[in-house]
């Protein structure tokens, strides 16, 4: 087998790998994605913020002498009046220290304005006239004038026969997403055609994987014999979230394939994403990871400081990611809320997007 692989003298790793990755973005998957997006309606959830002037603050002194100088408005904004008409009410759940912690807003605009001194997580329950309800969460942000993010919800009734889980905005997922995708790269030589340098090829592979979006796959590499570039194949497997296998001879082929295929069959969640939301005053410095990293908070002023795409996760697998934060000065000893960590991923067995309960960082 190894002799037949070495029949030629040209090794175009980049051409074969990039072509294989592109094959995952098929026309059928694109049509499915377009159909799914068409069944969802766009809305925005977030808050506006304004710090009162000294003169204004004097008018908002509590009975205990505390000056309330922060004014915020929590809002759920819909894209069109037609979408607003589908909403019966929005129920906001505030911090339990508020005198009235649950407020129902029965008509547009679906928002409420309050005074306060601290940030906390607000729950907004969007209740539709057809009886369905969707739970959204937002961490109040003091700093930028506006902090909003976009959500997609199936506000309009689905055709008869289609199920819709009322408690999750990400429920209408195509079952085809549960397909586990992977690309296997086989080589017995050194790259001498196309992209030949290891850093350039790893960068090209990472860019191609990013273009796949929700169709992102893993990349596993197999080096046959002793003439291949092991460092390159290890780097590609790391970028692709797969495994590198050294196939020394024919007897090792079955064992190597078995390990790679076994990993695919034990995949429990796909497109796993970590979102780090930081409290006011806490800054994001760096993430020590090779996973794709986005910093939406740096450009939009949002509360989400970092988003890390983990990719596929196997049963009983553990992933460790180290992040560095900058902390503000505190007035007294005691625990301080630094932010929240959220995890979301697509369940292969459940065929739906699952979101774990947020974890408070203290």
- The answer, yes or no, to whether residue 165 has pLDDT greater than 90, is no
Residue-level pLDDT at 185 = 82
Residue-level pLDDT at 356 = 80
Structural domains of the chain, ranges and CATH numbers in brackets: 2-36+179-265 (3.40.50.410), 40-52+67-153 (2.60.40.1970), 269-361 (2.60.40)
The pair of three-digit structure tokens given for residue 59, joined into one six-digit string: 């008018």
Residue-level pLDDT at 240 = 81
CA angle 255, 260, 262 (to 5 degrees): 90
Say which range, 51-60, 217-226, 255-264, has the weakest mean pLDDT: 255-264
CA dist., res. 57 & res. 165, Å (int): 45
CA dist., res. 274 & res. 307, Å (int): 6
Cα dihedral across residues 8, 10, 13, 19: positive or negative? negative
263 vs 2, 111, 347, CA distance in Å? 25, 47, 16
Check residues 214 and 96 and name the one with the higher pLDDT: 96
Residue-level pLDDT at 229 = 81
Give start and end residues of each alpha helix (H) in the chain.
2-5, 13-22, 27-38, 54-58, 81-84, 198-211, 230-240, 253-265, 296-300
Q: Which residues pair with 330 in a beta bridge?
A: none
Q: What is the mean pLDDT of residues 92-104?
A: 92
Say which range, 128-137, 155-164, 261-270, has the weakest mean pLDDT: 155-164
At 331, is the pLDDT very low, low, confident or very high (cuts 50, 70, 90)? confident
Strand duo 87-93 + 102-105: pairing: antiparallel
CB 93 within 8 A of CB 86: no
- The answer, yes or no, to whether residue 27 has pLDDT greater than 60, is no
Instruction: Give 342-358 pLDDT, tens digit per residue.
Output: 888 887 777 778 888 88
At 80, is the pLDDT very low, low, confident or very high (cuts 50, 70, 90)? very high
Q: What is the mean pLDDT of residues 213-232?
A: 79
The pair of three-digit structure tokens given for residue 265, joined into one six-digit string: 């069959």
């Amino acid at each position: 087998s190894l002799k037949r692989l070495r029949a030629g003298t040209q090794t175009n790793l980049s051409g074969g790998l990039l072509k294989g990755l592109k094959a995952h973005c098929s026309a059928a998957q694109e049509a499915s994605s377009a159909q799914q997006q068409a069944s969802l309606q766009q809305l925005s959830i977030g808050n506006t913020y304004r710090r009162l002037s000294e003169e204004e603050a004097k008018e908002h002194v509590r009975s205990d002498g505390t000056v309330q100088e922060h004014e915020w408005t929590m809002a759920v904004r819909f894209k069109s009046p037609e979408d607003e008409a589908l909403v019966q009410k929005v129920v906001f759940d505030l911090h339990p220290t508020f005198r009235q912690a649950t407020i129902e807003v029965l008509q547009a605009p679906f928002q409420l304005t309050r005074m306060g001194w601290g940030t906390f997580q607000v729950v907004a329950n969007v209740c539709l006239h057809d009886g369905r309800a969707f739970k959204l969460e937002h961490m109040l942000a003091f700093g930028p004038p506006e902090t909003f993010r976009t959500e997609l919800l199936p506000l309009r009734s689905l055709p008869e026969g289609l199920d819709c889980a009322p408690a999750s905005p990400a429920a209408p997922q195509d079952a085809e997403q549960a397909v586990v995708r992977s690309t296997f790269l086989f080589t017995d030589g050194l790259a001498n055609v196309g992209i030949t340098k290891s850093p350039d090829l790893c960068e090209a592979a990472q860019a191609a994987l990013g273009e796949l979006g929700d169709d992102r796959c893993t990349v596993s590499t197999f080096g046959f014999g002793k003439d291949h570039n092991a460092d390159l194949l290890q780097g590609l497997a790391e970028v692709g979230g797969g495994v590198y296998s050294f196939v020394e001879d024919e007897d090792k082929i079955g064992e190597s394939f078995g390990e790679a295929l076994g990993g695919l069959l034990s995949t429990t969640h796909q497109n796993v994403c970590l979102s780090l939301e930081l409290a006011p005053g806490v800054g994001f410095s760096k993430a020590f990871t090779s996973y794709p990293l986005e910093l939406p908070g740096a450009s939009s002023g949002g509360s989400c400081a970092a988003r890390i795409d983990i990719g596929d996760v196997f049963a009983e697998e553990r992933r460790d990611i180290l992040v560095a934060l900058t902390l503000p000065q505190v007035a007294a000893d005691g625990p301080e809320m630094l932010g929240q960590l959220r995890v979301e991923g697509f369940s292969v067995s459940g065929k739906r997007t699952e979101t774990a309960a947020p974890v408070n960082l203290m």
